[in-house]
Amino acid sequence: MGKFLLFCVHIILIYPILCVSFSPDNPTDRRILVLVDDFALKSSHSLYFKSLQSRGFELDFKLADDPKISLQRYGQYFYDGLILFCPTIERFGGSIDLAAIFDFVDTGHDLIIAADANASDLIRELATEFGVDFDEDPAAMVIDHTGYAVSDTEGDHTLIAGDDFIKSEAILGSEKIEAPVLFQGIGHSLNPVNSLALKVLSASPSAYSANPNSKLSNPPSLIGSNIALVSVVQARNNARTVVTGSLSMFSNRFFQSGVQKAGSSTKHEKSSNEQFLTELSKWVFHERGHLKAVNVRHHKVGEVNEPSMYRINDDLEYLVEIHEWSGKSWEPYVADDVQVQFYMMSPYVLKTLSTDKKGLYSTTFKVPDVYGVFQFKVEYQRLGYTSLSLSKQIPVRPYRHDEYERFIPAAYPYYGAAFSMMAGFFILTVVHLYNK
């Protein structure tokens, strides 16, 4: 009995802490598991890890083949994000396998996959599940004879100076990326069937994917701007994934290196790797582009209480508050493309919501002259932002018998026809009965 009471006391003390730690109102209060091939990456890529830790993330470093690693126990996940800096791993340790990683993402968690020229079949298969197909040639690398980074040694032009970025402030931030990004690794293409995958950094039109140590005997399978260097995937449950074919681009050496793109006279003292990958990490871990909708409500115009049903031709008002996570707090989200549908089998009403620029979106419209069970639906999808899917069901009834006007002017001809028929029938009856 004493042990049971002690257990209850511990639960009471720990419960508030758990509520704060896992509160959805603070989407960046997170632990991240980092799987590496070698602990030497902790020092060689320390600048990237420090940028995450400086923003409040707690990193847990493990060897990818550690037999004790696990993502969850009894359905409770230990981590909110997973970074795979282990391109050569043939088999994960512990209870982690491909199915466990897919379940991790399916439950709304985030993932970063970094491969390189030595990427294993396991990493390639994992990327394929997210709509990313690395070059099938295991020795292939991205080569660009006009868009390479100038260096002291001519080299084989596999050190790419990439500057073809996606145009999205939600993904890469509002600050312009001035210098190119250094990339050295394998390229990939996006499966056209997967509409959720996007290229964030593309190769130049002169690039191709091939083995730099052998002559081309056949045309390369990946060429030009079709080659993706870095891609992102936002699943329908808003889980986010970053896939790249270069682990080196996260390294301190690439972060601190100067860069000059071939054919350009401008030499930058520092590459944009740090800025690019820092901004990208803010997106993938939901520090930016993360929306939430609260206080969804509707009522008749001039009233405040939400009714149990509407009558046809009622005037109603629909309101919702939308906020965006800024990395530290929830701020009002301002946009002019949020729409609401009044839906039954198909949209009967489609209205763009107006905003007061303080997070409140609203509109008014008349209930259509059709009765049945309708839904208020908001399906908001915008590049780089988490999608919003809101629905609220409400029945619509016709007029009751005592709600119509007693005499409708438009029905006067029908009234006249009815009374004239009765009068005619009466006259016909009298004539028939009394006429000899």
Q: For 135-176, how does the pLDDT look when each residue is reduced to its tens digit (9 = 90+)? A: 888 888 999 888 888 886 767 888 999 999 999 999 999 899
d(CA 73, CA 422): 83
pLDDT of 31 reads 93
The answer to whether the beta carbons of residues 143 and 224 sit under 8 Å apart is no
Mean pLDDT (whole number) for 294-319: 92
Percent of the chain past pLDDT 70, that is, above it, reads: 93
Instruction: Tell if the pTM clears 0.85, that is, is over it.
Output: no
d(CA 377, CA 340): 6
DSSP symbols for 188-227: EEE-TT-TTEEEEEE--TTEEEE-TTS--SS--SSBGGG-
DSSP symbols for 128-178: HTTTEEE-S-TT-EEEESSSBBP-SS-TTS-SEEE-EE---HHHH-SS---
Taking CA atoms, 39 is separated from 114, 140, 426, in Å, by 16, 26, 106
Taking CA atoms, 299 is separated from 282, 354, 361, 400, in Å, by 38, 17, 14, 20
Mean pLDDT (whole number) for 261-267: 86
Residue 412 has pLDDT above 70, yes or no: yes
d(CA 388, CA 405): 43
pLDDT of 28 reads 53
Residue 371 has pLDDT above 80, yes or no: yes
Better-predicted residue by pLDDT, 17 or 403: 403
pLDDT digits (tens, 9 = 90+) for 179-213: 999 999 999 999 988 889 999 999 999 999 998 88
d(CA 161, CA 261): 6
pLDDT of 434 reads 86
Residue 214 has pLDDT above 60, yes or no: yes
d(CA 124, CA 219): 22
The answer to whether the beta carbons of residues 197 and 143 sit under 8 Å apart is no
d(CA 32, CA 307): 45
Residue 6 has pLDDT above 60, yes or no: no
Backbone angles phi, psi at 346, to 5 degrees: -155, 160
Q: Return the structure tokens found at 309.
A: 């049903």
pLDDT of 4 reads 43
Looking at residue 248, what DSSP letter applies? G
26 confidence band (pLDDT: 50, 70, 90): low
The answer to whether the beta carbons of residues 395 and 373 sit under 8 Å apart is yes
- Extended strands (E) in 79-174: 81-85, 110-114, 132-134, 141-144, 160-162, 164-165
Strand 315-325 and strand 291-300: the pairing is antiparallel
Q: 183 in helix, strand or coil?
A: strand
pLDDT digits (tens, 9 = 90+) for 317-357: 999 999 999 888 899 999 999 999 999 988 999 999 999 98
Strand 315-325 and strand 360-366: the pairing is antiparallel
Mean pLDDT of the chain: 88
Buried b (16+ CB within 10 A) or exposed e, 384-414: bbbebeeebebebeeeeeeeeeeeeeeeeee
Mean pLDDT (whole number) for 276-291: 94
Pick left, alpha or beta for residue 263 (phi over 0 → left; psi -120 to 50 → alpha; otherwise beta): left
Amino acid making up residue 180: P
Mean pLDDT (whole number) for 80-107: 93
Backbone angles phi, psi at 304, to 5 degrees: -125, -25
Q: Return the structure tokens found at 112.
A: 């970063």
| Helix, strand, coil % over all residues of the chain, rounded to 5 | 25, 30, 45
The answer to whether the beta carbons of residues 290 and 323 sit under 8 Å apart is no
Q: In the chain, what's the furthest Cα-to-Cα distance?
A: 129
d(CA 142, CA 165): 17
What is the number of residues in the chain? Answer: 436
Residue 106 has pLDDT above 60, yes or no: yes
11 confidence band (pLDDT: 50, 70, 90): very low
Angle at 104 between CA 100 and CA 106, to 5 degrees: 115
Residue 25 has pLDDT above 60, yes or no: no
Better-predicted residue by pLDDT, 403 or 56: 56
